[in-house]
Structure 1
Amino acid sequence: MQIIQCLHTAILVSNLEKAEYFYGKVLGLTKVDRNLKYPGAWYQIADYQIHLMVDANFGNQKHNAEKWGRNPHLALGVVNLEEAITELQKHNYPIQMSASGRPALFVHDPDGNIIEISQR
């Protein structure tokens, strides 16, 4: 087997409206059309997609509350980390800078899913 591409990541959310605000407005991702029978939203990043799937009973549990990056997370790259920090703070999303010293931060979506944002 030769894996040649990562296609998408599926993320469970309990409130689609709040999740769409975070992924679409705060992170600025492009929403794409989807023709499926279950509630959710898809977002495109180059050749990769994030699939939000609604589960009203979803409750994310952090295994390591001290170091957010030591939990399951999705990592995204940005051109300017300072701009990302400003945007997240403008919308009152708490951030945690990477303990490694590299230019990266961690933030929670409205359901507690952890997103890493790294400068590329």
Structure 2
Amino acid sequence: MNWIKILKAYHQGKFDRYYYGLTPRMIIGASQHPIGTAFENEQVAYDTAYGIFEEMVEYNEDGLIVTSNYCGIHKGPVLSFTEGNLTADSIGTSFKSIWDRYGDEIISGEFGISDYDKKTLNEID
């Protein structure tokens, strides 16, 4: 599943248990086919996460850009769409910050995808 569809679903209120955004690890894991599939190795995990982050930094469609908030529960950045104009700092976080916080979990395939998340993800077109 494409990360854009996941963040659009969040923006539309379909992940109503989450208030500040979705964790990068969940977005990356949900983008795997099938959902939650672990990566072959650390380099593939890093390259995939970096590629998704770079797409997020540049995303600017339908008046939506990606931004981040700090989540005290996850002790790291969470991501969401917001209406606004794209600037160099719109996303409000760095890949280093995301990787430092979530990299080990992404590498080990611990995406934090709950049954609630799976149900919501399966309802996204």
Higher relative contact order (CA 8 A, sep 6+): 2
Provide the TM-score with structure 1 as the length reference: 0.27
Computing the radius of gyration over CA atoms, which structure comes out larger, 1 or 2? Answer: 1
Select the structure that is richer in helix.
2
Select the structure that is richer in strand.
1
